[in-house]
Structure 1
Amino acid sequence: MSVLTIPLALTSMSVLAQDHQVTFSPSLRLTETITDNVDLSRGSGTGGNASSKSDYITGIIPSMELNSRGGRAQGNLRASVASLFYANNSNLNTSFLTFNGTGSVEAVEKFAYVDVRGSESREVASVLGVRPGDQVTGRANQTNVRNVGISPYLRGHFHNSGVAELRYDINSSSASSGSFQRMQQQMWSGSLVDETAFGQSGWSLAFSDNQVSQTGRRDLHLQSARLTLMSRVTPQLQLRVIGGGEGNNYNSSNTQQSTIVGAGFDWKPSAFGRVSATWEDRFFGPGYQMSGDYSTGPFVFNAKFSKDVTSTSQALSATSLTTAYDLLMGLLASRYPDPVARDQAVRTYLTNQGVSTDQQIGISQSVLNNGVFLDRRLQFGASYVGLRRTTFMFSGYRSERSSLVSQTAALGGEFINATRVTDSSGSLMLNHRLTPLTSATADMTLIRTQADGSATTPSFTNKTRRATAGLSTSFTRRSSGSLTYRHSRATGTTEYTENALLGSVIILF
């Protein structure tokens, strides 16, 4: 698959759609970054031998946003090409593409559908290295990561309330550098669900066959089947009991079988909130999927807590909290299930609060490891507009991951010298509208990474603190600018300090 997958899919949707609406919004961003440590290296004043290097980096970034919405098709795409020019070291000059898009087509009315998704972004190559605050500093620990996928599926009904689905999903992930190898993940899945087959009780049957392929490594397989019995105790509460089996070849070329036993519930205490939880006894021990969200008036909150088998392809397909726009798109998913309608609501909200859609909030959650691994992850986000002209946004996550595969199919990357890697971060942003045209923004981000060593390698911990403060203003209806100061400090094996001044101008066409 190529980077054209998403644009071509959106074009196809426009042809298929009835009474569809398409909007196209180009823009140009001009940036200037002045930093006293462009490499985020250990400075001479901190006990190291290397000296930090200052630089002036100019960025020219044309962008476009495309939204397609119609009776049988919808999708959105954000794409940009960044050209960066370094005044003191022209060897670092570079250009790269970033994009993020999703789309859905109802190919045959109420029966056949196709979902497409794709992204290309600059990601941290390893969470064990330096953690830059942008795409122009700390380039040695950054890489371009591409993730594209397509998922055709059939959906129909049986009896009065049953739903049947058969889906095929193929996903491809690759990076421009580092130890991460090109990965292809294919999964067949199917389900039969009838929640009211016996009045207030029902059942579901689901299966999946997942294969991960990488060059020079044996294919990894995971098959599973589950039977779930469910009962609605009250209109707000449904209980579930789960039984099934699974098999995998993670530790041996022969498939190892095991049983699945579990339980769960779905609770919607009010129109403003909901909670869902599932616990299972799996081949790796206890596994769980828990989530909750609540929104009322000025407050929006959601959280997810899980422990499950995952891969880089799956992690990249999940929402990353990197900007105010990304955070709110995740927070408002339950309130606006339609992604296009949610996009419009988020942009209106941010515009009214004087917050840029590109305002950083949190950090990217890259997981560039080969094969599959066990990930125990907590992720949460919140937005609160309780004071006049003031907005608070908070996001955080904690990811604890360890290898699931045998030594002959080692994950590489972060797991070359570590048996377990724990990565956590919290970020708080405050935005205050000073005038109808000007806003002040401040945020603080804390990052902590710990690698548990083996019998031959030591454990270590890295900590990064990053604070920014700045002003943004609108010059005209279609142009705006910002000026931001940033201070970063890291301790541990990647010790450094950095001060930077960032300016940008955005022109909408």
Structure 2
Amino acid sequence: ALDASQLTNDYSVGRDSEASNYSIYLSYRFDPQFQVSLIGGRESNDYVSLDQQTTYTRGVGFDWTPSLRTQLKATVRNRFFGTGYDVDFHHRRPRSLVTFRASKDVSLQPPGVGNTSQGNNYNAFYSIIAASDPTLTPDAINAQVTQLLLERGIPADGTVVNGYLTDRPQVQELQQLTAALMGARNTVTFIATRSEQQGLSLLNGLTNNYALPGRILQRGYGIVWAHRLTGLSSLSLSLNQQRSSTYIATSPETTTSGAYLLFSTRLSPKTNINVGARRVISSGVTSYTESALTGAIFHRF
């Protein structure tokens, strides 16, 4: 397989940059469950230099599927910043799903910006419902997942580390664990994320150091418990926390914690309403607290 990409970054403030990447994958499947790959290629960019610098990349990967419910994929290869990798694991039970992802790569945007996915909670319940009835069409699965999330007050996207806007590319090392359990009356989702980002600049190229003290470490977790009170109403409780820090001793850590309580009910087959309360506490360079009551009505035409 051949993979090729060309990217131009144009910042209103900061250095513009260009990057290209060409990779060839040679794969061999030993049996239906196990496949290995050799990776070779070339990448060029001016992230850490005034002119384009070229690095020849090579690596290996594998794809192991011991059963229809379990899959583990991983690739590792040398990059201009060191060793890059991507690990993806998921295991599904009839009413639950656990996934883990770890990667180290160049990041150009915060999580969620430019992401076409519906969200990790949506994806988890989509997989569970799709596996429970293989005869369902994608539209039917989407309708069931959307209705489930709406009726039980579960956000489609459970992102707990929001990232930050930058004026340059970053090397991001990311680990994320997600879990979802769907019961007849109780539904639980959990996510834990660790993200470490190092901005790329000429200093990295001059020192050949991609672990400078100014890199940003963000950690977060979130849990949502939803309980169906009746056939039409449900109550959900969400707790989350995000911590952001640097490796500079004089820079304080910022911690933001939130609690959300939401009551949802269906007024008609096409109309839902919810009433909620939230409390957010943030401490760090700028501390604040927030309390709010919310209400919303949803109608599908």
TM-score range (shorter-chain normalised) is 0.7 to 0.9
Aligned to 1:452: 247
Q: Which residue of 2 aligns with 1:308?
A: 105
Sequence identity, in percent?
A: 26
State the Cα distance separating 1:352 from its structure 2 match: 5.0
User: Residue 277 of structure 2 is aligned with which of 466, 472, 485?
Assistant: 485
* Aligned match of 2:144: 348
Go from structure 1 to structure 2 and tell me whether the alpha carbon gap of 1:452 and 1:292 turns closer, same or farther (over 3 Å shift). Answer: same
C-alpha distance 360-496 of structure 1, shift in aligned 2 (>3 A): farther
Q: 405, 412, 418: which one pairs with 2:201?
A: 405
CA distance in 2, matches of 1:333, 1:384: 12
Q: Secondary structure at the match of 1:317?
A: coil
Cα shift readout 1:116-136 (whole Å, capped 9, x = no counterpart): xxxxxxxxxxxxxxxxxxxxx
- 1:254 aligned onto 2:51: yes
For 1:326, which of 119, 127, 135 is the aligned residue?
119
Q: Which residue of 2 aligns with 1:498?
A: 290
RMSD: 3.0
Structure 1 SS opposite 2:113: helix
Question: What is the number of equivalent residue pairs in this alignment?
Answer: 287
Could you tell me which amino acid in structure 1 is paired with residue 120 of structure 2?
Answer: L
* 1:426 Cα deviation after fit: 1.1
| Structure 2 match to 1:214 | 11
Distance 1:333 1:375, change over 3 A: farther
Change (3 A) 1:493 1:219: closer
**Judging changes above 3 Å, is the alpha-carbon distance between structure 1 residues 477 and 262 closer, same or farther for their aligned structure 2 residues?**
same
1:291 Cα deviation after fit: 0.9
Change (3 A) 1:472 1:241: same
The structure 1 residue matched to 2:20, chosen from 196, 211, 223, is: 223
Q: Unmatched 5+ residue regions in structure 2? A: 131-135, 205-212
Aligned match for 1:291, one of 77, 88, 97: 88
Partner of residue 261 from structure 2, selected from 452, 461, 469 = 469
What pairs up with 1:2-13 in 2 under 5 angstroms? none
Moved more, 437-446 or 227-236: 227-236
Structure 1's 333 and 407: CA in aligned 2 closer, same or farther, altered over 3 A?
farther
Distance apart, 1:488 and its partner CA? 1.7
Cα 1:319–1:398, aligned 2, differ >3 Å: closer, same or farther? farther
- 1:267-317 CA distances to partner (integer Å, 9 max, x unpaired)? 111111211100111110110011122223101232321101121289622
> Does structure 1 conserve the Cα–Cα contact (< 8 Å) formed by 2:25 and 2:39?
yes
What one-letter code is carried by the residue in structure 2 that aligns with 1:331?
A
- Which has the greater radius of gyration? 1
Q: Residues 290, 350 of structure 1: CA spacing in aligned structure 2 closer, same or farther, 3 A cutoff?
A: same
SS in 2 for 1:316: coil
Superposition deviation, residue 360 in structure 1: 7.0
**Shift of residue 208 of structure 1?**
3.0
- Asked if the contact 1:470–1:485 (Cα under 8 Å) also holds between the matched residues in 2, the reply is yes
Tell me the secondary structure at the aligned position of residue 152 of structure 2.
coil
TM-score computed with the length of structure 1 as normaliser: 0.51
Could you tell me whether the CA contact under 8 Å between 2:9 and 2:18 is conserved in 1? yes
Query: Which residue pairs with 1:184 in the alignment?
Result: none
Matched residues in 2 for 1:403 and 1:485: separation? 37
Question: Which residue number in structure 2 is paired with residue 432 of structure 1?
Answer: 227
